Structure 1
Amino acid sequence: MLKISDLKVSYGGIEAVKGVSLEVPKNHIVTLIGANGAGKSTILRSIMGLVKADSGDILLDGQSIMGVSTNQIVSSGISLVPEGRRIFPNLTVLENIKIGAYLRKDDLASDIEWVYNLFPILKSRHWQMAGTLSGGEQQMLAVARALMSKPKVLMMDEPSLGLAPLVIRDIFEIIKTIHQEGMTILLIEQNANLALKCADYGYVLETGNIILEGTGIGLLHNEKIQEAYLGKKK
């Protein structure tokens, strides 16, 4: 469904992504793990057209989306839940949700009800200013907003960042639920243990290069991954 081929991205002459290739098959969860500064967020921003790539290609359903506008990319079926949530604090929960459908011209009622069923707390607080929600509730709102564009591929950038352990567990349960409903997901997550447990396939990024790939379970039991990302010693 989503395929990246030999993607290279530079910032100020410094190569941040060095020829990365990866695939996100339909109805799969694929995770990209790695340390801070490895280039993970840059890859997602490149897919969304927010960062211009130096070379390579990005294909959705076999069609290149390189060089097209972010609005066109959203319309083609890709949505991003950004790092840090980036909700609109001075708008209500419902207004934030509707912003996710800013390119749509059809009726939103059934999809609003769908995200309310996924996140009942948002329905009960639809009138509330988004900035007054807890961190976990804001993350739920960011996911709900992204889903309102009716994406084929949902990309999530560090959804557990800054959240309490119990809230993180809830967020990953939501990820699994969305996936079970047929959503294809590309997940960036520093909690490698949780990411690999829920992912069908994973890639390990180090200083702009893919150094390892395999099934989520396979990487979870890889000694190098356990030592580098899961805090386990030989």
Structure 2
Amino acid sequence: MLEIKGLSINYGGIEAVRDISFVVPSGQIVTLVGANGAGKSSTLRSIIGLVKAKSGSIKLAGKELMGSSTDEIVRNGITLVPEGRHVFPDQTVLENLKIGAYLRKGNLDEDIEKVYSIFPRLKERSWQAAGTLSGGEQQMLAVGRALMANPKLIMMDEPSLGLAPIIVNEIFEIIKRVNEVGTTVLLVEQNANMALHVADKAYVIENGRITIEGTGKELLKDERVKKAYLGTTA
């Protein structure tokens, strides 16, 4: 379980995240929903060690990770699929996957095959340059690369951003599939409707604070969420 307590993040004197606390139970999908600039991505970047928090606690399975390096956080079982995918375009699909396991030693063949079992399309394109893949395929590769670190928890930052609606549906099926094979998921997503449909637990972040929380189903029915994020009050 990931436990965040009293997390605050400042950028140049501006408080981007303000004393937020939430939990991500093992084996579940948890989503952070909110508008642009609400503090969602800053929260993920702080958890993975890319942004230094002003205060708070970040614990995975009871171990404090606040102040640890990104490499150490990855070794402890957390990976991030960044917004915009950021695959290595000139490297092949297979090379990108191996980069995801850069902290590990030993034979990676079994883990590569596990990724291919989740994403058969990546196996078909294993020797293709990542930059020539479609947006949806690059998102699969970014997720597969993160899985190569054998994480307990995978964080995904806006995985549907910029993708066609039919591909968005496929991406959310992938999120469910990753969770079903045993990986806990923390999801940041502007597509609140899709995110809440797959989430076991959800939190709404507004202006750096958590304002609403509940199960995904509960928030889908919440009038405040419907009005602000789902475009309906029906």
* Aligned sequence identity (%): 63
**CA drift at 1:178:** 1.2
Aligned residue number for residue 212 of structure 1: 212
Q: Deviations over 1:24-63 (max 9, x none)?
A: 0000100000000000000000001000000001001011
Q: Would you say 1:42 and 2:42 are equivalent positions?
A: yes
Partner AA of 1:222 in structure 2: D
Q: Would you say 1:99 and 2:94 are equivalent positions?
A: no
Gapped runs of 5+ residues in structure 2? none
Runs of 4+ in 1 over 4 A off after TM superposition: none
Q: Matched residue of 1:32: which SS?
A: strand
Aligned residue number for residue 225 of structure 1: 225
Please report the RMSD computed on the Cα atoms of aligned residues, expressed in angstroms: 0.7
Q: Matched residue of 2:4: which SS?
A: strand
Aligned residue number for residue 151 of structure 2: 151
Aligned partners of 2:180 and 2:48: how far apart in 1? Answer: 24
**CA drift at 1:207:** 0.5
Aligned partners of 1:32 and 1:8: how far apart in 2? Answer: 16
Partner AA of 1:101 in structure 2: A
How many residue pairs match? The answer is: 234
Q: Would you say 1:120 and 2:117 are equivalent positions?
A: no
TM-score, with length taken from structure 1: 0.99
Partner AA of 1:214 in structure 2: G
**CA drift at 1:106:** 2.2
Gapped runs of 5+ residues in structure 1? none
Q: Matched residue of 2:214: which SS?
A: strand
Q: Deviations over 1:115-144 (max 9, x none)?
A: 111111111111111001000000000000
Aligned partners of 1:169 and 1:186: how far apart in 2? Answer: 18
Aligned partners of 2:224 and 2:81: how far apart in 1? Answer: 29
Q: How does 1:133-212 map to 2 (within 5 A)?
A: 133-212=133-212
Aligned residue number for residue 74 of structure 1: 74
Q: Would you say 1:10 and 2:10 are equivalent positions?
A: yes
Q: Would you say 1:61 and 2:61 are equivalent positions?
A: yes
Q: Matched residue of 2:166: which SS?
A: helix
Aligned partners of 1:115 and 1:182: how far apart in 2? Answer: 13
Q: Matched residue of 2:26: which SS?
A: coil
Aligned partners of 2:207 and 2:226: how far apart in 1? Answer: 19
Q: Deviations over 1:147-205 (max 9, x none)?
A: 00000000000000000111111111111111111111000011100100000000000
Q: How does 1:26-41 map to 2 (within 5 A)?
A: 26-41=26-41
TM-score, with length taken from structure 2: 0.99
Aligned partners of 1:116 and 1:183: how far apart in 2? Answer: 16
